[in-house]
Structure formats: C-alpha cells, structure tokens
Chain A
C-alpha cells in the first residue's frame, strides 16, 4: 500500500465484528477488565443498564482489526483513538454483529501517514465516535 494510491474519502476496508458473552469473558480475562457489567446480567441491571454490554475497549480493539489486515502489519498503526458513544448490548445466547467501515480521513504526505476513520455501527447507529487510526505508509 502506498500513500500516493490513496485519496480522502476512499473506503479501504470493511468488516463485521461478532461478539457473544463467551467472547466477553475471554476479553475480560485477556485484558484484565473484570467489571461485572460485561459478564453478569444482575450487575448490569443494578447500575441501570438494559443488560450485559460489551467492553467499549473490546469494540475499539476489534474494530481496528480491519485496518491492521488492510495495512498488512500491526506495527504500522501508530496512533488509534476513539470516543465511546453508545453501549453494545450483548443478550444471553445471542451473537451480536457490529459493522465497521474504514475510509481515508486525511493524508499527510510529509509525515507519510494516512488517517483512517472508522464508522462502527450497531443496527445502523454509531457506537464509537471520532474513531481514528493513524497508519504509517
């Protein structure tokens, strides 16, 4: 992939993330984030949530995979940030699908970087805001 082959607004990748409660338990173990609202219905309801929700960091971590696969080397993602705008509820015994579309947001030819903007949606509503990965090309 070369910077000169990219233009702002161009879609470079897309994908579907799939998450169920078993995956949230594995993410909790792998990340160390054992907040019970991501595993236990009663704990989630007790703090006013509609039920178990995915870790925002799970969604952030999963979404950037489409960028890594596109750019071909995880080490080329030099900056990645997002806001968390909506929770991703994960009902028991269901697999929830989150959609990701990655487009070129900006190009910096001097720095040799492309800002890839991620649109991450659940049922058409954005769950991440200003989700941007900077890749070195």
Chain B
C-alpha cells in the first residue's frame, strides 16, 4: 500500500509527559561513544550552568520516535516498516534537555510526497516542557518503497 497523502497537516494529540532520567542519558551517551562529562556527572554539568546532566544532541530521538510510532503504526498511513529507509533527521533546540525534564511531545505530519518511486513522509515532533514551553523540534523523513 502506498503512503497516504491525506495525512499531511495532521497533528496528533500530545503524548503523556516523559520524565528524563540520568541513567538513560548515561546509557545513551555510552552507546554513541559520547564521553563529555556533562552527560554523566551532575557536578560537571552544573559547572557549565546546567541544572543537571545534559542529554547528547540526538537524545531527543528517544521521545520523538515514541511519538512518531503513532503515525508509523497506523495501518492507514501506509508506512510499512519493512520497506522503510531513514532519509534524514534534524534537531533544533530552544534549550538543552536535562535529567529531570518532563517532556511532552506532539507529532505533526508535515509532508507526504512521491519522489522517484519512493513515498517520502516527513514528520515533525514538537518537544515542550510540561508547562508548554518549547524545548526542541525533531524532524524526520522516511523513504518508503512501494
């Protein structure tokens, strides 16, 4: 089944708040080989002016991907995960993400186009704190083979 362009412009309801922990920031940093002490040592992070350890620049994919799953797993969207290649990804930060943050994500479907026989689906996840203040925007494009 082809990707469904009628999803363009759709905004899903906000997700439940996600509490960021020191342990998961440390595990993510280790997995990507990020050794900067501000990812794991609260004192090193505070010395740089942060309230707690700082997530690596791509950590927001953790909450973004959970949000994107609502679109990807909707059979009507036509995004067959066995036929998907990740085409691009982007992170724009209003402020860094720290341990202790309670993040609320909202998924938007920005574009669905056919290009060179591939269905290109671009989603945007707006990441905010629990009071609604913006934290980051995560954009992702999947290329879906027919």
Contacts and interface: CB of A to CB of B under 8 A. Distances in A.
Interface of A: 17-18, 23, 26-27, 29-33, 35, 47, 56-58, 60-62, 64-65, 68-69, 72-75, 77-84, 133
Contacts of A29: 27, 31
Nearest to A37: B82
Interface string B84-98: 011111111101100
B34 A57 contact: no
Contacts of A69: 35-36
Contacts of B89: 56-57, 60, 81-82, 84
B128 interface: no
Given A47-B83, A73-B54, 17 more contacts: A18-B33, A31-B61, A47-B82, A56-B89, A57-B61, A58-B31, A61-B28, A62-B32, A65-B32, A65-B56, A69-B35, A79-B91, A80-B90, A80-B91, A84-B86, A84-B88, A133-B57
Interface majority SS on B: helix, strand, loop or mixed? mixed
B111 interface: no
Contacts of A68: 34, 36, 56-57
Interface string B46-72: 001110001111110110011000000
A81 B90 CA distance: 4
Given A18-B33, A69-B35, A75 B50 contact: yes
Given A65-B34, A69-B36, A31 B65 contact: yes
Interface in B72-131: 81-83, 85-93, 95-96
Contacts of B83: 47
A33 B65 contact: yes
Contacts of B28: 30-31, 61
Contacts of B91: 79-81
A58 B49 CA distance: 28
A81 B88 CA distance: 8
B38 interface: yes
A23 B31 contact: yes
A58 B81 CA distance: 18
